[in-house]
Structure formats: C-alpha cells, structure tokens
Amino acid sequence: MTNNGFYLEAGPQLGFKTGDVDFDNVEATVEGSDFSICGGLGFQPTKSPFGIGARYNAGMGTTGEIDFNNTSVENADFKNGVFQLSIYWRLFGGGKLKK
C-alpha cells in the first residue's frame, strides 16, 4: 500500500464448485475446479476502515465442453474471465492503518 492509500494486488486463485460435489468421483470434481491468475487495484484512505477495489480473474483451465455431434462445433472449451468490484469495511485495525 502506498502512503496515499492506493494498492495493487496480484496472485493465483483456485475456484471450485460448491454444489454437485461427488466424493465417489473425485476426477469429475477436480475437473470442475478452475485455477486463475488475478490482478487488481484499490484505494483505502489511511484514516478510514472503508475501501474500494477492482480485480480481474483470468481462468487458466477450461471449465466446460460442448460436443454437438450434428453441427460443425465440436469440443468447444470455455475459460472463465471475471471482473469484480468491491466496497469493503476492515473489521480488524479499521482506521488505524500504519504509514
């Protein structure tokens, strides 16, 4: 975080389905997960517990397949791309940020 409250964030993210988890078929559950590379920026004033942020998550793996046997589209793969906006409130250390 800079002295004026702006910050950058970057790193990996692992996403997975929380519904339809089949513990008898672990392979299908793992195929339903998604590894992403994330990057974002935000602003939190130094005297305030509130802040705003924006982030983009780019999925590295495929999340689904389509197989239309009677058309020209076969085995089309999809990747996630998610843009997030946030407004947040720090619960711990709220308006006492260090410079």
What's the pLDDT tens digit per position in 27-52?
665 666 778 999 999 998 877 889 99
**Measured between alpha carbons, how far is 49 from 92 in angstroms, rounded to an integer?**
9
Residue range of the domain that includes 47: 6-89
- Which amino acid does the sequence have at 94? G
pLDDT over threshold 70, residue 61: yes
Number of domains in the chain: 1
Inside any domain, residue 28? yes
In a domain, 85, yes or no: yes
At 30 the three-state DSSP class reads: helix
CA distance 22 to 45: 45
| Cβ-contact 6, 46 below 8 angstroms | no
- 98 within a domain of the structure (yes/no): no
| 66 within domain boundaries | yes
pLDDT of residue 53: 96
Asked whether residue 94 is assigned to any structural domain, the reply reads no
Residue 10 belongs to a domain: yes
> Between the CA of residue 2 and those of 8, 44, 89, what are the distances in Å?
9, 10, 18
Measured between alpha carbons, how far is 68 from 76 in angstroms, rounded to an integer? Answer: 9
**Predicted model pTM:** 0.64
Q: Is residue 96 part of a domain?
A: no
Residue 12 lies in a domain: yes
